[in-house]
């Protein structure tokens, strides 16, 4: 494809956000050009959400074999074939790939250009031999792993989430740098697949989540044999004759930890290099594209969505952003703004860790003591959890003085799936009476939501005042 194309919308990046804009806009009648220099589907399909959950599933299968004795079944040591594990991960990606393929999007009427894109001016982009002039542009180039300037790392082989899923060989001892969601998920998956794993985290592991909830996760991970070094600084790494050495420091004392492989998982950075954003009049800050509440850049004809804005880096966030910009570009709904009040996130360790809205610490900081209430319900009080021996879980709901949902922290089996009613409750400021009055099927983990919401009424329902009223009413019969 060469020459100049004039179109309605030009999207740079075929990850979750870019594909959502392209599919939606094209099917609603807009002329769309989609530019992607790498793999269709972006990070989520090829290096992130999909392969990581596939690897976690493999680890879960191995874990079940080891611990089936709790159900009266003879446990067996799992025999892990890493080539077949890799084939499983790649097979899951391949099964989803057609939904994100060039062929599918061309069938929707999208012109797909597989080239690097760069702005020539505020209204024109170059992609290979093609120039694209559009009424609107959408920057959806996502993010890539951030590799910190660790002494010796440039001379040491290491993985990131973009390369770790290509491994098909046994791992003796995996050193994981970073105790965030990616690091902890990969640490547990590899541990369950038979590797020794050490996690090195300079602060607290899973620090963005509720400490009471993360304690349950970390206790489980340590019980499974993970060595989690928190508040530990990584000073240097080196390649040795026997593998990799990492020099760490805690409380002024240094130690050398040796491993066979190294995974760097310390965060991500926005993909803006080579876009020539200055020629388009697009401002950046701290390495990410600057946007307003409408996801517009400093160039009013150019939007930016997803990770490239430096905000919440979730696939579902990019999809949400896509809907915001489609409404503005196609239907001129320029009043449409982002609302991050009810953005959920999940860490897919076992147990899972899910969050929506305010945590307890955030409620204390933003509202002050006495202006909110914490409701708790433990999984060991749920019959389905008992039947499946998955009782290490907790739900914490944050409500205001009127019993309206402000947030929910959930740790336990299938926490991500159980979070949905609380997303609705936080988004719509529903009262606990709405959730407490639901009929939950028995026995299911979903009863935890009903019980948590119902606990809001326990103090008044079973109070001395209520007992007096009931006794009085009974005398009238």
Which pLDDT score, from 0 to 100, does residue 155 have?
A: 96
Distance CA 330, CA 125 (A): 20
Other Cβ atoms closer than 10 A to 78? 17
| Domain 153-266: which CATH number of 3.40.50.10860, 3.50.50.60, 1.10.490.10, 3.40.50.300 | 3.50.50.60
Q: What is the DSSP letter of 27?
A: H
Write down the pLDDT at residue 460. 85
Q: Where in the chain is the domain with CATH 3.50.50.60?
A: 3-145+269-340, 153-266
Residue 268 has phi, psi (to 5 degrees) of: -140, 160
Quick one: pLDDT at residue 210? Answer: 97
C-beta of residue 226 within 8 angstroms of C-beta of residue 196: no
pLDDT at 470: 86
Pairing of strands 244-250, 261-264: unpaired
Supply the pLDDT for residue 477: 66
pLDDT at 35: 98
Cα 315 to Cα 379: distance, rounded to the nearest angstrom: 29
Q: Which fold has domain 351-461?
A: Enolase-like; domain 1 (3.30.390)
Q: Considering all CA atoms of the chain, what is the largest pairwise distance in Å, rounded to the nearest integer?
A: 90
Domain with CATH 3.30.390.30 in the chain: 351-461
Q: Which portions of the chain are predicted below pLDDT 50?
A: none
Report angle CA 325, 283, 134 to the nearest 5 degrees.
45
pLDDT of residue 29: 97
Say which CATH topology domain 3-145+269-340 has. Answer: FAD/NAD(P)-binding domain (3.50.50)
Q: Which of 402, 392, 393, 394 is nearest to 360 (CA)?
A: 394
Do 120 and 126 contact (CB within 8 A), yes or no? yes
HSE (side-chain half, CA atoms, 13 Å) at 362: 17
Closest CA to 76 of 88, 64, 85, 60: 64
């Amino acid at each position: 494809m060469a020459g100049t194309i004039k179109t309605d919308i030009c999207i740079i990046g075929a990850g979750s956000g870019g594909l959502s804009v392209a599919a939606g806009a094209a099917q609603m009648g807009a002329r769309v050009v989609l530019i992607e220099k790498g793999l269709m589907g972006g990070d989520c399909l090829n290096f992130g959400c999909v392969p990581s959950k596939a690897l976690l599933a493999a680890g879960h299968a191995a874990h079940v074999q080891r611990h089936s004795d709790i159900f009266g079944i003879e446990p067996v040591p799992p025999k892990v074939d890493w080539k077949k594990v890799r084939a499983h991960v790649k097979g899951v990606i391949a099964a989803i790939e057609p939904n994100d393929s060039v062929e599918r999007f061309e069938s929707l009427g999208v012109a797909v250009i597989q080239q690097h894109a760069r702005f020539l001016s505020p209204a024109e982009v170059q992609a290979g031999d093609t120039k694209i002039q559009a009424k609107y542009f959408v920057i959806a180039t996502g993010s890539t792993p951030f590799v910190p300037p660790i002494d010796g790392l440039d001379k040491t082989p290491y993985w990131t989430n973009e390369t770790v899923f290509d491994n098909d060989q046994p791992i003796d001892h995996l050193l994981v740098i970073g105790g965030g969601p990616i690091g902890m998920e990969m640490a547990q998956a590899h541990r369950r697949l038979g590797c020794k794993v050490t996690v090195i985290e300079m602060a607290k592991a899973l620090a963005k989540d509720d400490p009471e909830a993360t304690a349950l996760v970390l206790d489980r991970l340590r019980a499974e044999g993970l060595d989690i070094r928190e508040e530990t600084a990584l000073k240097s790494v080196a390649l040795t004759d026997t593998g990799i050495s990492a020099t760490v420091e805690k409380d002024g004392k240094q130690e050398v930890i040796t491993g066979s492989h190294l995974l760097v998982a310390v965060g991500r950075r926005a993909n803006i290099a080579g876009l020539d954003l200055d020629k388009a009049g697009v401002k950046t800050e701290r390495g990410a594209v600057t946007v307003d509440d409408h996801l517009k850049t400093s160039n009013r004809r150019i939007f930016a969505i997803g990770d490239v804005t430096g905000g919440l880096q979730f696939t579902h966030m990019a999809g949400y952003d896509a809907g915001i910009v489609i409404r503005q570009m196609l239907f001129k709904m320029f009043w449409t703004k982002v609302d991050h009040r009810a953005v959920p996130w999940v860490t897919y360790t076992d147990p899972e860790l899910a969050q929506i809205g305010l945590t307890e610490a955030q409620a204390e900081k933003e509202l002050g003591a006495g202006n909110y209430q914490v409701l708790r319900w433990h999984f060991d009080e749920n019959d389905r959890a008992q039947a499946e021996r998955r009782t290490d879980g907790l739900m914490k709901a944050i409500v205001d003085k009127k019993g309206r949902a402000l947030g929910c922290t959930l740790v336990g089996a299938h926490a991500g799936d159980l979070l949905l009613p609380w997303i609705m409750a936080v988004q719509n400021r529903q009262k606990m009476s709405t959730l407490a009055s639901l009929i939950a099927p028995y026995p299911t983990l979903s009863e935890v939501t009903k019980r948590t919401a119902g606990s809001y009424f326990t103090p008044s329902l079973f109070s001395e005042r209520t007992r007096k009223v009931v006794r009085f009413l009974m005398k009238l019969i």
